[in-house]
A and B are shown apart, each in its own frame.
Chain A
Amino acid sequence: MKSRNVASLLVGLLAGTACLTAGAHHSTAMFEWGKEVTIEGTIDKFEWTQPHTWIWFNVPGKDGKVEQWGLEGMSPSWLGRHGWDRRSLKTGDKVKIMIYPLRDGRNGGFAVRVTFPDGKTLDELPQRTQ
């Protein structure tokens, strides 16, 4: 249900506008948009930057070797008005992140929802209430 809400928000954002995407300035073509994959690991760095925030995320592979994932997120312009700030994620935080993965199979994707060990979540694309 949650993902459907996100999808309808994005459809709404895309409808009738010039070139809008979730990312404001580029298409979502590189992601499998809507395909939910959850990965678990440790925050290496949270970049609070325009035009996108970035999460560099260390994920233990099946062989125990840590792989680094690069996760694009919404901009500070968006997240800063939806409950996030530059300290929302800290280096060393152990979290689960639901992503829409890259189509090309590299270790990357679009960060959609972060879940902390205590169950608290942070959504990048919350349903807007108005």
Chain B
Amino acid sequence: MNVIETDKLTKCFGTFTAVDHISFTVGEGEIFGFLGANGAGKTTAMRMLCGLSTPTSGTGKVAGFDIYKETEQIKRHIGYMSQKFSLYGDLKVWENIRLYGGIYGLSEKQLKAKTDELLRVLDLENERNTLVDALPLGWKQKLAFSVAIIHEPRIVFLDEPTGGVDPVTRRQFWELIYQAAERGITVFVTTHYMDEAEYCNRVSIMVDGKIEALDSPSALKSSFKAGNMNEVFHALARGARRVDN
């Protein structure tokens, strides 16, 4: 069953077409990598799927709901973590968990259990009362991810979730992604680290607002006769006209 379906989805800002007729599907439980150079239109496409931005044309469904009319229902069934790190820095670790858990309708009892569980899994028990601003970036990212799936959504959208941290920390972050996928949460992730692309079930590569390739990493590598995803990416992105917005 597909949790995301789009058909000729397009977003224009004035005369500039940020996302140009993209069509793809994402299946339940999949880890879907959404690749592209800076300015290729990844974030815009993701924002439309999350109901943060209205498409110019085309159709799309997320978790079975229409991205034009049923954005509020979509929001009940998705989690989102943006590249602009977005927990409240002036709230403590447990307070952020409580806030988002509360927003998604967890009961007081569930909240307490969930907080303890999360802190244990993330090994943040000693940081329970630390202000989020004071945490190292890698910890913040893991916390943000856990908070984004606190309500066990059907899909979680991750927009460059691991920017600016070392490979070891990124590896740990992907452990969390795998655990979530095992529980049946579909993961939709944008990244520009090509080693991370290898971890995905399937990846799409966007160039100048269009999806130029979409398949599993191994299939892409063989069809482009490339040794790794980096080469695949460069083969495609070479023709890009838009660099950096």
User: Does chain A bind chain B?
Assistant: no
Give B contacts to A, CB under 8 Å: none
